[in-house]
Amino acid sequence: MQKRVVFRSRLLPYLLVAPQIAVTVVFFFWPSYQALESSFFLEDAFGFSRQWVGLLNYTELFDDPGYLRSFRTTLIFGLSVAFLAMSLALALAVAANRVVRAATSYRTLLIWPYAVAPALAGVIWYFLMNPSLGIVAYWLQNAGVDWNHYVNGDQALLLVIVAAAWKQISYNFLFFLAGLQSIPRSLIEAAAIDRATPFQRFWTITFPLLTPTTFFLLVVNLVYAFFDTFALIHATTEGGPVDATSILVFRVYSTGFVGQDYGSSAAQSVILMALVIAMTIVQFRYVERKVVY
């Protein structure tokens, strides 16, 4: 049974939510509106004058092969990050679920990366992989891999994928572990009696029963990779070399602040907003319907 607290004053509840509303309006709705507005104007670099251009900023974007390439890069980046972060997290969660049903120390250790700020995560990997300083780059070179993400675009993309995935593993791990622990042990035992090998038990029982968790995490990871990795890329590759790691969010920044094309930058952020909204809707609809199996 849920207990409801009823306020005596009608004003108090509004007062209590006012700060949150104010923050949302000032830091979210207002800039969003401004972005939407600017996306229909052409503005000079110093902001002295602007001119209504309708959808020109948008049509130009979709004619720009660089922007379309960014779309592709974002997709590759997002899917790779989600896949890598989720599969590693699942493997760790399965191991943890098996070894220590209750022990929390192992779990705590695995949560640490999540507490690291994205920019710092980027810097850590930047140092590890730095062609002249980095220990991992040194190992790779010893192993015969010519590692230089300053020159090689694929390597640069790989670097940001690994760094972004690493940071997300702990989050995924927690959800997978919780998901695994909510699967009744008797199901796995019944499967063992039904002669399923541990491998079969995982793929025919455990994994299908984790579907709700997996789907939820897929959306969360994609949202993270698409929109939350700006600081990480900024700290490691700055979108380069050339355009190789310039995902959509990074492009908003480079077009606006480096290229000083505010109209186009605003249009890009509106497109990104639409993307976030779409993904959020997918997730909410899914959460409403809940169980899928």
Partner 1 sequence: MAELSITGLGKTYPGGVQAVEGVTAEIADGEFIVLVGPSGCGKSTILRMIAGLETITTGDLLIGDRRVNNLEPGDRDIAMVFQNYALYPHMTVRKNMEYGLKNEGLPRSEIDARIAEATRTLRLEDYLDRKPRQLSGGQRQRVAMGRAIVRDPKVFLFDEPLSNLDAKLRTQLRAELKALHKRLGATFVYVTHDQVEAMSLADRIIIMNAGRVEQIGLPMDLYLRPATRFVAEFIGSPAMNFVEGTVDPDRRSLAVNGSHSLRFAEPLPAEPGHKIALGIRPEHLTEVPAGALSMELEVDFIEQLGADTVVHGKLAGANSPLAVRLHGVQAGAAGSVVTLGCEMDNLHLFDLGTGQRLN
For residue 192, the minimal CB distance to partner 1 (Å) is 5
Q: How far apart are CA 266 and CA 37, in angstroms?
A: 8
Q: Point out which span in 56-64, 125-133, 139-147, 187-195 binds partner 1 (CB under 8 A).
A: 187-195
Among the residue ranges 13-21, 102-110, 202-210, 221-229, the one whose residues contact partner 1 (CB under 8 A): 202-210
Using alpha carbons, list the distances in angstroms from residue 77 to 53, 114, 193, 229.
33, 19, 42, 10
Q: Give the residue with the Cβ less far from partner 1, 113 or 212.
A: 212
Nearest to 252 by CA among 6, 83, 31, 104: 31
Among 24, 32, 204, 280, binds partner 1 (CB under 8 A): 204
HSE-up of residue 144 (Cα within 13 Å, Cβ side): 0
The conformation of residue 3, written as its DSSP 8-state character, comes to: P
Q: Beta 41-43 vs 50-52: how paired, if at all?
A: antiparallel
Which DSSP letter does residue 5 get?
P
Is position 26 an interface residue for partner 1 (rule: CB under 8 A)? no
Name the minimum Å distance from CB 102 to partner 1. 11
User: Can residue 103 be called a binding residue for partner 1 (CB under 8 A)?
Assistant: no
Q: Give the count of residues interacting with partner 1 (CB under 8 A).
A: 18
Contact 160, 229 (CB under 8 A): yes
Instruction: Please list, in sequence order, all residues whose beta carbon lies within 8 angstroms of the beta carbon of residue 24, skipping any fewer than 6 positions away.
Output: none
In the complex, least distance from residue 73 CB atom to partner 1, rounded to whole angstroms: 36
Of 131-160, binders to partner 1 (CB under 8 A) are none
CA distance 199 to 187: 15
**Contact flag: residue 205 with partner 1 (CB under 8 A):** yes
CA 31 to chain CA centroid, Å, is 22
- Give the x-and-dash track for 32-51 against partner 1 (CB under 8 A): --------------------
> For partner 1, which residue of 3, 4, 8, 195 counts as binding (CB under 8 A)?
195
Q: Name the segment binding partner 1 (CB under 8 A); options: 49-57, 105-113, 205-213, 271-279.
A: 205-213
Positions in the binding site for partner 1 (CB under 8 A): 184, 186-187, 189-196, 200, 204-205, 208-209, 211, 293
